[in-house]
Amino acid sequence: MEEEKKNVAEEVKAEVAPAPAPVEIKVSEMNEEEAKLEKADAKYTATNIQVLEGLEAVRKRPGMYIGTTSSAGLHHLVWEIVDNSIDEALAGYCTEVDVTINPGNTITVIDNGRGIPVDTVAKSGLSGVETVYTILHAGGKFGEGGGYKVSGGLHGVGASVVNALSEWCEVTVRKDGGIYFIRFENGGHPVGHLTRIGDFSDGTNGTSVTFKPDPTIFLDTTEYNYEIIRDRMRQVAYLNRGIKISVHDIRSENKEEQKHESFCYKGGIKEYVLFINHNKTKLYDEVIYCEGTAPITLASGNTAHVYAEIAMQHDDGYASNIYSFCNNVHTHEGGMHETGFRDAMRRVINSYAREYKFLKADEDDLTYEDITEGLTCVISIKHPNPQFEGQTKTKLGNSEVRKIVSGIVGEQLNRFFLENPKLARTIMEKIVMAANARMAARKAREDVRRKGALELTTLPGKLADCSSKDPTVCELYIVEGNSAGGSAKNGRNRETQAILPLRGKILNVEKAQAKRIFANAEIGNMITAIGGGIDPEFDISKIRYHKVVIMTDADVDGSHIRILLLTFFYRFMRPLIEQGYIYIAQPPLYKVEYHGKQYYAYNDEQLETIKTKLNLKAGFSFQRYKGLGEMDAEQLWETTMDPANRKMLRVTLEDAIKAEQIFTDLMGDNVEPRKEFIHENAKFVKNLDI
């Protein structure tokens, strides 16, 4: 798809300062192998069966093991090796992990754990190191006799996958007084066997892994992003209190440009909640914390233990932010630990509200949405045998966890309220206010619906809909201004492209109460056109378009409108972003006419490239577009809407916590974080029109 080409990533950097940080571009083009399979002859015999030896399967279908070969997959290699070190820490044998980005974009991960076993594995006939790095599903994390009580790596494929997808990989193990080394090349093939290369006597066991990603696998980029690695390592440090994780970027020869940061949090997830809320107006300074351990019976009949900890704090905002983890894996889709938390919160809060007269006898129970309005909560459990399910395998399915978390939170939160009556009153007043606002919003929603703005059977008059009813091929362009909307309507593909013009800037939903939001005409038009409703009843299966394209001018006002729309989608239709249905159109900034031909440039660099290639010095027509309205229907189609030529950015959520912070900083009431963001990012602003 043209809209997802590789050079798009560079164009993101040219966005004006308010562009949201959680936006990341993913390239999802069908590779040649898949295309051949799709067009293959219908005959299917034994000759079609392939048996892939060793690590060939990983190199043949890397996406099956790391999700993607784009930037996200590249960084996933780091997570796999770090997870092995963290598993050592969870087992109680590792206190420090070092991650270094070296010159040439190689990665080194060093820990002070026990060291990978170096003796011979009977089943493979190879050393433990060679077995782990060359055989899929080999490791110490299987069964009750494994080397780990809890593990984020479930399938024993992490180390071998990293090796398979690397141009080369080197492993050094310090264990029992000996230093051992092995090198792998060309997709995981060992260069000789594990060799003892030295001795040590200071008792510092551990493992060091250095690898270079294979550029024939990672075609988009092999360049590591320091901020992505740093943020992930900081999160891991929060989730595992007391473990020191250091991150280094030594790619520059200039030592002043090298980066070094270390993370170690004795408060663990309590400090994590404070970090997430650092730019919010908190209702109270304390972080409410619950923790506990509960026994479970394994399939063998043996007993193991589940550890759960929960930290939470309210702010004065309206958004609910619940983040859950199991064995350091972010469970984006929730699961039984979140369900247990929900059960306990409803039970404790409603009981307290009735006993202390925050609710009258004839009033309905407070809802979970009331209770969690303005609540930031981190739920982290460690489980010896987690069962992940869901579309992305990030939903925890262990049913016993629901009761465990519910019991821990229920008992300890109730005790906290009894011991802290003043703080409990502050929380209850916030929750009751949220309930009143919910009822007022419901009335406003019903009023708006009666007027037709939310009535799903009546499409807004401003919408120029497409003729196709197949949402998988339909696109909705949300266009800034009636002038551009008119050009888009005239230039579009009427079968698959619908146009919804916006009049001015929509409401900033980060600051507005629900009553105002539902009464806003422009927001009502979008809700109706998209067709899936609005949070908390949003149903993605009912949406009418699988591409919702934000098309605004390439100036400051256009960027502001874009982030207002993204804020609305993030707060009220988040599944659209999570499933990759939101796009940002990329209209050109310049048009060059030379010898009867037209050339379009999307930034200053492209304009200079065109000038150089055409050797332009004099005698050519040059136009800078100040807005979409300056383009006629034909120009808008061929530059911005034609699937054969257009460039579009797909908006995705790689890190929900970082996204939450960015939207709060940019669109919230607190001015200082916005000033800081502009100060830090002003250098990236290009083509600024004021």
Write out pLDDT tens, residues 446-466.
665 555 444 444 677 789 999
Residue 571 has a pLDDT of: 83
Write out pLDDT tens, residues 144-193.
545 555 555 443 458 999 999 999 999 999 999 999 999 999 889 999 99
How far separated are the first and last CA of the chain, in Å rounded? 34
Question: Class of the 452-587+649-684 domain?
Answer: alpha beta
Q: Which of 536, 534, 527, 544 is nearest to 466 (CA)?
A: 544
Q: What is the mean pLDDT of residues 648-660?
A: 73
Confidence grade of residue 27 (pLDDT, cut at 50, 70, 90): very low
By CB atoms closer than 10 A (0-12, 13-18, 19+), residue 277 is buried
Q: Which of 58, 63, 90, 78 is nearest to 210 (CA)?
A: 78
Q: What is the mean pLDDT of residues 16-31?
A: 33
Question: Which of 459-473, 586-600, 640-654 has the highest mean predicted lDDT (pLDDT)?
Answer: 459-473
Residue 690 has a pLDDT of: 40
Instruction: Mark whether 557 is an active-site residue.
Output: yes
Instruction: Say yes or no to pLDDT of 19 above 80.
Output: no
Task: For the chain, give the mean pLDDT.
Answer: 83
Residue 529 has a pLDDT of: 93
Q: What is the mean pLDDT of residues 208-228?
A: 95
**Location of structure tokens 């309507």:** 489
Instruction: Say yes or no to pLDDT of 661 above 70.
Output: no
Confidence grade of residue 14 (pLDDT, cut at 50, 70, 90): very low
Q: Please report the beta strands in 267-421, taking only residues with DSSP state E, as ranges in sequence order.
A: 288-297, 303-314, 321-326, 329-330, 375-382, 388-389, 395-396
The region, left, alpha or beta by phi > 0 then psi within -120 to 50, assigned to residue 642 is: beta
Residue 284 has a pLDDT of: 94
> What is the share, in percent, of the chain residues with pLDDT greater than 70?
80
Confidence grade of residue 664 (pLDDT, cut at 50, 70, 90): low
CATH of domain 277-445: 3.30.230.10
Asked if 164 and 55 touch (Cβ cutoff 8 Å), the reply is yes
Instruction: Say yes or no to pLDDT of 8 above 60.
Output: no
Note the pTM of the prediction, 2 decimals.
0.73
Asked if 400 and 335 touch (Cβ cutoff 8 Å), the reply is no
CA angle (218 as vertex; 212, 224 as ends), nearest 5: 60
**Tokens, residue 387:** 């069962």
Q: What is the mean pLDDT of residues 207-232?
A: 95
Residues 6+ apart with CB under 8 A from 479: 485, 488, 499, 500, 501, 502, 551, 552, 628
Return the amino acid letter for 205.
N
Lowest mean pLDDT among 67-81, 87-101, 182-196, 648-662: 648-662
Write out pLDDT tens, residues 368-407.
999 999 999 999 999 988 898 876 678 999 999 999 999 9
Catalytic residue, from 98, 480, 522, 660: name it.
480
Asked if 434 and 373 touch (Cβ cutoff 8 Å), the reply is yes
Asked if 377 and 311 touch (Cβ cutoff 8 Å), the reply is yes
Distance CA(222)–CA(70), nearest Å, equals 9
Q: What is the mean pLDDT of residues 233-254?
A: 96
Q: What is the mean pLDDT of residues 285-307?
A: 92
Catalytic residue, from 553, 578, 660, 665: name it.
553
> What is the share, in percent, of the chain residues with pLDDT greater than 90?
49
Catalytic residue, from 80, 555, 578, 660: name it.
555
Instruction: Say yes or no to pLDDT of 341 above 90.
Output: yes
Residue 656 has a pLDDT of: 61
Instruction: Mark whether 604 is an active-site residue.
Output: no
CATH of 57-219+224-263, one of 3.40.50.150, 1.20.1250.20, 3.30.565.10, 3.40.50.261: 3.30.565.10
Return the amino acid letter for 64.
M
Instruction: Mark whether 480 is an active-site residue.
Output: yes
Q: Which of 495, 507, 500 is nearest to 468 (CA)?
A: 495
